[in-house]
Amino acid sequence: MTGTVSAPALELEALVASRLCHDLINPIGAVGNGVELLQAVMPGSAELQLIDESVRLAMDKVRFYRIAFGAASPSEQIDARQITEILQGLYGSGRIRIEWPPRALPRPQARLMFLAIQCAESALPVGGTLTIVQEEGCLRILAEARRMRFEPALWAHLTTGAPLAELRPAEVHFPLARRRAEADGLAVSLAEREGGFDLAFTA
């Protein structure tokens, strides 16, 4: 058969992630709408407030994962407002603070940024600040924290492509970030310093 596309070219795992996020976003949104209606007739309900917060968090995570793990068309742009809303929803009041000058990004760049944020976040067990700097052909994440913890095998894979003996589901962003960097022709480096570290993806 002519005109077929191989599974690797389609990045099947990314398409699966996109499908899951797409199918989840509507029912989660419907639950949120239902909670709003209930709050109108039951104002001040602590139980409804808890459900509302959980629904909002689930929605923010699905939107984040859709960009981080979903298919990334080079021609698609993610506008600055959408990226800001997603980052604010996930990190606006938690232990990790994100400093990012809003700008529209091609979806592959937004995907790399979200994956890199997850990698950097994993090294901050008690929280900290991640400042994102984006220039032509370069992405840098400058981390400030009182305490840092690096998993050597994961960071060696991210920065050098060293093979991983094992990988847990919660660590999948490391090989995905490495793959995205290789696809974009970017070198990955990690520089530790007093009170923080710099994670860089450079051409």
Q: Three-state SS for 180?
A: helix
Radius of gyration (C-alpha) of the chain in whole angstroms: 19
Q: What's the pTM value of the predicted model, to 2 decimals?
A: 0.85
Instruction: Look at residue 9 and tell me whether its pLDDT is greater than 80.
Output: no
Where among 14, 40, 71 does a domain terminate? 71
Read off the pLDDT band of 139 (50, 70, 90).
Answer: very high
**Helix residue ranges per DSSP H, the chain:** 7-10, 12-41, 46-69, 80-91, 107-122, 152-160, 173-183
85 in a domain, yes or no?
no
81 in a domain, yes or no?
no
Please check whether residues 35 and 110 belong to one and the same domain.
no
Who contacts 118 (Cβ-Cβ below 8 Å, separation ≥6)? 68, 173, 177
Please check whether residues 133 and 198 belong to one and the same domain.
yes
Give the model confidence (pLDDT) of 97-119 as tens digits.
999 998 999 999 999 999 999 99
CA angle 184, 169, 203 (to 5 degrees): 15
80 in a domain, yes or no?
no
Q: What is the DSSP letter of 109?
A: H
Give the model confidence (pLDDT) of 69-88 as tens digits.
988 888 889 999 999 999 99
Task: Give Dmax over CA atoms of the chain in angstroms.
Answer: 62
- For residue 119, the enclosing domain spans 91-203
Please check whether residues 139 and 183 belong to one and the same domain.
yes
Q: Tokens 């070198």 belong to which residue?
A: 187
Where among 71, 103, 124 does a domain terminate? 71
Report the domain count for the chain: 2
What pLDDT, on a 0 to 100 scale, did the predictor assign at position 16? Answer: 77
Give the model confidence (pLDDT) of 146-163 as tens digits.
999 999 999 999 999 999
Please check whether residues 101 and 167 belong to one and the same domain.
yes
What pLDDT, on a 0 to 100 scale, did the predictor assign at position 21? Answer: 67
**Contact of 180 with 115, CB cutoff 8 Å:** yes
Which CATH number goes with the domain that contains 151? 3.30.565.10
Task: Taking residues 53-64, report their average pLDDT.
Answer: 87
What pLDDT, on a 0 to 100 scale, did the predictor assign at position 123? Answer: 97
